[in-house]
Amino acid sequence: MPEMSNLDSYPPVFRHLNGAPQIAAELKNAMEDTQGSVPIPVVDLQFLSLDKLGEACKDWGLFRLVNHGIPPSLLSQLQDHAKKLFALSFESKQALLTSPMSYFWGTPALTRSGDALRGALNINWLEGLNVPLSQLPQFQSEDPMLDCFRLLLKEYGRHLARIATTLFEAMAKDLDLDPKQSQSYLAESTGFVRVYRYPSGSMADEAWGMIAHTDSSVLSIVSQDQVGGLEIFKDNKWLLVNPIPNTLIIHVGDMMQVYKILLDFNFFSAFISYYFVIIF
């Protein structure tokens, strides 16, 4: 999340953050509850231990993945291309980033009835790209930078599918699920990549990036830049998860928890989806 001098690259709503004391006050009060960084469990994909994987999922709901097999050069190229795309003017991004590479920003939180919540801390101050991996082969762009980004995402998606499948099969084994049955639950075609950019510099001092939430997926595979900012809620307090180069953060999503509950009742018939996130 580098310092950006081009204010025009941000959505219009973000350009009015400066000078909004009520936002800064709300954020300061909330951040007082945040504790320091914490060493989260580490899982080695090359030497995968079911015991360590199971403990991390049950006790933390997330872990740091090492030896995942994604080339550092690929992650670096993805970040570089994403930063160039987000540095374009807001109007250019709206025109260029169309289906299936959809562009979004400033998503409000919703109540259970579907109504948008008001207030500074109920708005996701971010912009992002949503990319369904299954639609990338059919996507063609005349813009060289965007087409190169598409090819990088395709390669990245193949790695993510491999990682997600390996982890899910190990989790299924830890849950004593039949291997053949578990394979039918993980639909690789439902995977997608989300690329997020958060307000930088003084903007970041006056607004949230993303509000407190859980992931609805089975697994979220997160690749961060080195700025950091990811937090988890454990033991009634918020803890920082510091970035470490060439590692991934794996979140166990809501669907995986539902899956475990349904297994306890010997009932499960739905396909499982998963998604991946790159944070810059």
Q: What's the whole-model pTM score?
A: 0.78
pLDDT tens digits, one per residue of 24-34:
444 445 444 54
Distance between CA atoms of residues 199 and 181, nearest Å:
44
- Phi, psi torsion values for 178, nearest 5 degrees: -60, 125
Residue span of the structural domain in which 248 resides: 7-107+115-279
Position with higher pLDDT, 33 vs 9? 9
CATH of the domain at 83: 2.60.120.330
Q: CA distances (Å), 189 to each of 147, 160, 183, 271, 274, in order?
A: 21, 12, 13, 11, 9
pLDDT bucket at 117, cuts 50 / 70 / 90: low
In the chain, the number of structural domains is: 1
Residue 1 in domain: no
* Burial (Cβ within 10 Å: 0-12, 13-18, ≥19) of residue 138: exposed
In a domain, 89, yes or no: yes
> What pLDDT, in 10s, does the model give residues 223-234?
988 877 788 888
Whether 103 is covered by a domain: the verdict is yes
The answer to whether position 2 is within a domain reads: no
pLDDT class of 275 with cuts at 50, 70, 90: very low
Residue-wise pLDDT for 172-213, tens only, equals 887 777 666 666 666 666 788 888 887 765 444 445 566 667
The answer on pLDDT for 53 being more than 50 is yes
Residue 181 resides in a domain: yes
Look at the chain and count its residues.
280
- Can you tell me the distance from the alpha carbon of 78 to that of 211, in angstroms, rounded to the nearest whole number? 25
